[in-house]
């Protein structure tokens, strides 16, 4: 497989579909460019044990699985936008608490966009990262969570990487 060949379901071992899909009512409002969509379609494979996500596309649906367990967590359906680019028109998240503990639609909306932006596209995504830390702190009741720790535990990335 060449570096630019898209990853497929067959590119990964032990993938498991979402057990109990729950629609996400709040979706990212970002429009990804056609160039972004080309990159998104190539997918992403975790490169080491610290990275948390494997991502691939089938048709217009983006699948996001945890790298260690292979459990499906998010599925996002994309559609073309008038004027160019693509947006997410529907998404589901794993509702089985044994596989994934959601912190609500606002969190899932942000994390869905952050995985695409920071992991798949390699963008800095500073605002999304800050939002992740804020929502995690709010959910935990702790106001002094180290950003790098939050980002690493959720994304497998360190601050700014």
**Each residue's pLDDT tens digit, 85-117:** 999 999 999 999 999 888 899 999 999 999 999
Given a cut of 70, is residue 160 above it in pLDDT? no
pLDDT of residue 48: 82
Given a cut of 60, is residue 68 above it in pLDDT? yes
Given a cut of 80, is residue 2 above it in pLDDT? no
> Once rounded to an integer, what is the mean pLDDT over residues 43-68?
93
Given a cut of 80, is residue 158 above it in pLDDT? no
Q: In three state form, how does the secondary structure of 77-103 look?
A: EEEECCCCCEEEEEEEEECCCCCCCCC
Given a cut of 80, is residue 4 above it in pLDDT? no
Given a cut of 80, is residue 156 above it in pLDDT? no
**Each residue's pLDDT tens digit, 16-38:** 999 999 999 999 999 999 999 99
Looking at the chain, the whole-number percentage of residues with pLDDT higher than 70 is 94
Residues in a beta bridge with 77: 61, 90
C-alpha–C-alpha distance, residues 51 and 160, integer Å: 15
> Once rounded to an integer, what is the mean pLDDT over residues 128-151?
85
For the entire predicted model, the pTM comes to 0.91
Task: Please answer whether residues 93 and 86 qualify as being in contact, where contact means their C-beta atoms are separated by less than 8 angstroms.
Answer: no
Looking at the chain, the whole-number percentage of residues with pLDDT higher than 90 is 71
Average pLDDT score over the chain: 90
C-alpha–C-alpha distance, residues 144 and 159, integer Å: 15
């Amino acid at each position: 497989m060449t570096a630019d060949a898209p990853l497929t379901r067959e590119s990964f071992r032990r993938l498991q579909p979402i057990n109990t899909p729950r629609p996400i009512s709040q979706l990212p409002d970002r429009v990804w460019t056609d160039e972004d969509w080309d990159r998104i379609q190539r997918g992403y494979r975790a490169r080491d044990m610290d990275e948390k996500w494997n991502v691939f596309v089938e048709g217009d649906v983006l699948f996001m699985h945890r790298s260690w367990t292979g459990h499906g967590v998010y599925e996002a359906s994309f559609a073309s936008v008038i004027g160019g680019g693509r947006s997410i028109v529907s998404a589901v998240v794993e509702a089985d608490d044994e596989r994934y503990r959601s912190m609500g639609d606002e969190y899932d909306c942000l994390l869905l966009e952050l995985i695409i932006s920071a992991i798949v596209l390699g963008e800095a995504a500073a605002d999304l990262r800050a939002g992740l830390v804020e929502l995690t702190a709010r959910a935990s009741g702790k106001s002094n969570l180290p950003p790098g720790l939050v980002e690493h535990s959720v994304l497998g990335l360190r601050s700014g990487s």
